[in-house]
C-alpha cells in the first residue's frame, strides 16, 4: 500500500533544490539557506519543519503542513493495518518539530543528531518536497555509488512515472 506524495499534496507544492554545506553552531542550530527558505510560504507550509527519519536512512526535514497532510492521509491508527502501525511507530516516535528562528536556523535535537550520525558540518540536500541532512562524506560515497547507475536510475524513474500516470495518480 504505497502513498504517492504528489497525490497527497493539497497545498501549493514546494520545490527544494540544491546542495548546501553548513556547520552546526554550539547550540546545535543549523542555518537553512535563504534559497530554501524563500520557497516557503508560512500560511501554506507552516512555521516550522518536522525532522523525521527518511526512507534512505537520512534525517529528513519536511515543511510542517506538508508532513501533517502526509500523516493525515495515513488515516487513523486505532484499527490500522499492522504495517502502517509499524511505520507510524518508527517515524512519529523519532520525529521532532523544529521551528525556524528569526535568523533562519533550526535546532536539531541531540537525539536525532546522534541517531543519524550528524555533527559539525552537515550537507543539506534539496530533494523536491523535503530536505535531507547528511554527512558530506556519506553523500560523496553515495554519489560515487550512484553515478555509474545514472542511466538505469533515469530509466526506472520514467517507468515509475508512466505507471503512475496509467493508474491516474
- For 4-33, the DSSP string reads -HHHH--SPP--EEEEEEEE--TTSEEEPP
**Same domain? 154 vs 119:** no
Q: Is a pLDDT exceeding 80 seen at residue 130?
A: yes
**Same domain? 118 vs 150:** no
Confidence of residue 11 (pLDDT cuts 50, 70, 90): low
**Same domain? 81 vs 117:** yes
Task: Note the pLDDT of residue 10.
Answer: 52
Task: Note the pLDDT of residue 3.
Answer: 38
Nearest to 138 by CA among 59, 84, 64: 59
**Same domain? 116 vs 143:** no
Task: Note the pLDDT of residue 169.
Answer: 57
**Same domain? 111 vs 145:** no
Nearest to 118 by CA among 37, 67, 57: 57
**Same domain? 89 vs 39:** yes
35/95 Cα distance (integer angstroms): 24
In a domain, 1, yes or no: no
Question: What is the rounded average pLDDT of the residues 50-72?
Answer: 94
86/74 Cα distance (integer angstroms): 12
Q: Is a pLDDT exceeding 90 seen at residue 49?
A: yes
More confident of the two residues 82 and 36: 36
Confidence of residue 68 (pLDDT cuts 50, 70, 90): very high
**Same domain? 19 vs 101:** yes
Question: Out of 21-25, 37-41, 78-82, 151-155, which region has the weakest mean confidence (pLDDT)?
Answer: 78-82
**Same domain? 130 vs 142:** no
Q: Is a pLDDT exceeding 80 seen at residue 160?
A: yes
More confident of the two residues 105 and 76: 105
The tally of domains found in the chain comes to 2
**Same domain? 109 vs 59:** yes
**Same domain? 43 vs 13:** yes
In a domain, 4, yes or no: no
Count the alpha carbons within 13 Å of 162 in the hemisphere toward its beta carbon.
6
In a domain, 3, yes or no: no
Predicted model pTM: 0.84
Strands 130-134 and 105-107: unpaired
In a domain, 29, yes or no: yes
Q: Is a pLDDT exceeding 50 seen at residue 24?
A: yes
In a domain, 147, yes or no: yes
Nearest to 30 by CA among 117, 129, 106, 137: 106
**Same domain? 96 vs 28:** yes
Query: In which domain, by residue range, is 29 found?
Result: 9-134
155/95 Cα distance (integer angstroms): 33
Q: What is the pLDDT of residues 98-120, one digit of tens each?
A: 999 999 999 999 999 999 999 99
Domain holding 95: CATH number?
Answer: 3.40.1550.20
Q: Is a pLDDT exceeding 70 seen at residue 88?
A: yes
104/73 Cα distance (integer angstroms): 29
**Same domain? 26 vs 105:** yes
Please, is 13 exposed, middle or buried when counting C-beta atoms within 10 Å of its C-beta (0-12, 13-18, 19+)? middle
Query: For the chain, what percentages of helix, strand and coil (3-state, to nearest 5) are there?
Result: 45, 25, 35
Confidence of residue 7 (pLDDT cuts 50, 70, 90): very low
Q: Is a pLDDT exceeding 80 seen at residue 123?
A: yes
In a domain, 124, yes or no: yes
Amino acid at each position: 500500500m504505497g502513498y504517492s506524495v504528489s497525490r497527497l499534496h493539497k497545498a501549493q507544492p514546494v520545490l527544494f533544490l540544491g546542495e548546501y554545506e553548513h556547520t552546526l553552531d554550539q547550540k546545535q542550530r543549523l542555518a537553512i539557506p535563504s534559497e530554501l527558505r524563500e520557497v516557503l510560504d508560512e500560511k501554506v507550509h507552516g512555521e516550522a519543519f518536522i525532522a523525521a527519519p527518511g526512507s534512505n536512512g537520512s534525517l529528513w526535514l519536511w515543511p510542517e503542513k506538508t508532513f501533517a497532510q502526509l500523516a493525515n492521509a495515513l488515516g487513523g491508527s486505532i484499527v490500522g493495518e499492522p504495517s502502517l502501525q509499524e511505520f507510524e511507530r518508527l517515524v512519529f516516535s523519532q520525529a521532532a518539530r523544529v521551528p525556524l528562528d528569526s535568523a533562519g536556523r533550526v535546532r536539531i535535537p541531540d537525539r536525532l543528531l546522534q541517531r543519524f550520525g550528524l555533527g559539525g558540518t552537515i550537507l543539506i540536500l534539496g530533494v523536491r518536497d523535503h530536505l535531507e541532512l547528511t554527512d558530506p562524506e556519506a553523500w560523496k560515497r553515495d554519489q560515487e555509488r550512484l553515478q555509474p547507475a545514472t542511466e538505469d536510475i533515469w530509466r526506472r524513474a520514467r517507468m515509475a512515472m508512466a505507471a503512475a500516470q496509467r493508474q491516474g495518480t
